[in-house]
Amino acid sequence: MNGANASRILPDNMDCCQTVLLHIALCFATMTDMIQRNSGFSRLAAGYLFPEVARRSREYVASHPDACLISLGIGNTTEPLTPHISNAMADYARALGTAEGYSGYGDEQGLPALRAKIAETFYSGMADADEVFISDGAKCDIARIQTLFGSGVHVAVQDPAYPVYVDGSVLVGAAGEARDGTYSGITYLPCTPQNSFFPDLTAVPDNSIIYFCSPNNPTGYASTKDELQQLVNFANEHGCIVVFDAAYAQFIRTSGLPKTIFEIAGARTCAVEINSFSKPAGFTGVRLGWSVVPKTLLYADGTPVIKDWARVMTTLFNGASNIAQAGGLAALDSEGLAEMKKTIDYYLENVRLIHAALEGSNFKACGTEIYSTGNSPYVWARFPGFTSWSIFDKILDECRVVTTPGSGFGAAGESFVRFSAFGHHSAVQEACERLALLKL
Ligand SMILES: *Cc1c(COP(=O)(O)O)cnc(C)c1O
């Protein structure tokens, strides 16, 4: 619209009265001419969870300038990339500055060598290299995948869940009106201690997109093979597609728990998987992820979903950074895999520290319930008698430790708090000492 620009090009010799009249005219023009806001944005209820956590933390620091906060809040990695990975990226970047080493656009679906390496490392016998698509991260893939199904699709999510499944669905118009923090048109599947964090699927309408995350953020629960078989059977019987978020698969330490949905019989006709180097390899800032879309997954009219996904990746995306992909290749060779395991073990040690702190006598006295299975970087704990935000504020105020209120992940997260184990050991140890002093 020309309104905003016009006010910047007022001639110097225009008098004050003319200026006012022009502004009034522009104002009317603005009111009548501007395009409508995407109603998805106005529908989005409260702000995104993590900015609110950041706001409360900032306000606390502003009013307590001496407080040194420790964050066990946002799930952001803290440990440096290993030299093996960072050198691979540095070498690649340097080579880009040479005639022989330079490359421009690559295949939009990703470096063939990386697609092959991911297929071989994580999906041997379950998915082929040409079913693997490299991306700039799992969150971006979750956003893009919603363009496949349009605004008419029904959506089901675990409750609590990673906020992007719901918020992204709202933005593409797949959700109805908001009421009390939930949306009509979305089926929420409570995952609570009462059902051992595996939902009752019978409420899911036919032909739904089911977002399912295991190991789960925020509960940390890693579903068993039997449970995922139930999910896959349900999806196949009811014409649903499961969008399986396996961002924490490499944190699984209990043997026998599935690390990919494609370990489950029947998954190739009802599921796609989204995954990422962010959490296991510390690529949160580097940005690298992947999706797996089996050729055998079809729409109602028989069109393979992979056909449209290839289209999305070439049309709405132009390929992941070649430097990041060089880092991904290094992360998946034998040295990289060994280092990745070490980094994950480091975070899982933090999980043990936090879990032990929450077993302290002060927590026991108030009946704190701790749910962590050691298969994810999160400790999910319930504080009877508190709302999530009230215990969040209390821990912030008395311990100067930032957590994440469980209710921010869904109504079934009320009265829970999520402790993230991403942090340096020394900081986590200090946070645990402070938690021991919390008066409940
Ligand atoms: C962190 C996280 C992601 C985001 O991963 P990126 O690859 O960094 O975009 C996706 N899903 C879940 C469940 C996460 O916790």
CA distance 362 to 341: 34
Q: Which residue has the tokens 């109504």?
A: 411
Q: In the predicted model, what is the mean pLDDT of residues 412-430?
A: 97
Ligand 1 centroid to residue 137 C-alpha, Å: 7
In Å, how far are 85, 115, 341 from 338, measured between CA atoms? Answer: 12, 20, 5
What is the average per-residue pLDDT within 415-430?
97
For atom 2 of ligand 1, the residue with the nearest CA is 247
The answer to which of 12-26, 63-77, 274-288 has the lowest mean pLDDT is 12-26
Q: In the numeric block, which tokens belong to residue 425?
A: 């050991």
How far is Cα 149 from Cα 211, in angstroms, rounded to an integer?
Answer: 13
Q: Which of 162, 244, 404 to mutate to test the pocket of ligand 1 (most atoms within 8 A of CB)?
A: 162
Q: Which amino acid, 101?
A: G
Specify the pLDDT at position 21: 58
3-state helix, strand, coil in the chain (%, to 5): 45, 15, 40
For residue 357, the CA-to-ligand 1 centroid distance in Å is 27
DSSP state of 437: T
Does residue 284's CB lie within 6 angstroms of at least one atom of ligand 1? Answer: yes
pLDDT band at 2; cut points 50, 70, 90: very low
213, 220 in Cβ contact below 8 A? no
* Span 207-261, pLDDT tens digits: 999 999 999 999 999 999 999 999 999 999 999 999 999 999 999 999 999 999 9
Token pair 């022989």 is found at 100
pLDDT in the model for residue 299 = 97
- Name the helix (H) or strand (E) containing 341: helix 334-358
C-alpha 278 – ligand 1 centre gap (Å): 7
Query: Does 216 sit in the ligand 1 pocket, CB within 6 Å?
Result: no
Residue written as tokens 């409420």? 203
Cα distance between the two ends of the chain: 57
User: Minimal CA–CA distance to 314: which of 45, 106, 157?
Assistant: 106
Between CA 370 and CA 145 the distance in angstroms is: 34
CB-CB contact of 212 with 249 (8 Å): no
pLDDT band at 20 (very low <50, low <70, confident <90, very high): low
Mean pLDDT estimate for the chain: 92
* The predicted structure's pLDDT at residue 74: 84
* Closest approach atom of ligand 1 to CA 284: 8
139 alpha carbon to ligand 1 midpoint, in Å? 5
Q: What's residue 15's pLDDT?
A: 55
**CA distances (Å), 263 to each of 122, 127, 226, 248, 292, in order?**
10, 10, 11, 16, 13
What residues does 292 pair with on adjacent strands? 132, 273
- pLDDT attached to residue 25: 56
Kindly tell me if the per-residue pLDDT of 49 is higher than 90.
no
What is the tens place of the pLDDT at every residue in 270-317? 999 999 999 999 999 999 999 999 999 999 999 999 999 999 999 999
Dihedral sign for Cα 185, 381, 164, 150, please.
negative
Q: How far apart are CA 103 and CA 140, in angstroms?
A: 24
What is residue 157's three-state secondary structure? Answer: strand
Alpha carbon 393 to chain centroid distance?
A: 24
Its pTM stands at 0.92
Q: Are 382 and 369 in contact (CB under 8 A)?
A: yes
Angle CA 27–29–34, to nearest 5: 105
Quickly state the pLDDT bin for 334 (edges 50, 70, 90).
very high
Q: How many CB atoms lie within 10 A of CB 318?
A: 11
Task: Tell me the three state secondary structure of residue 84.
Answer: helix
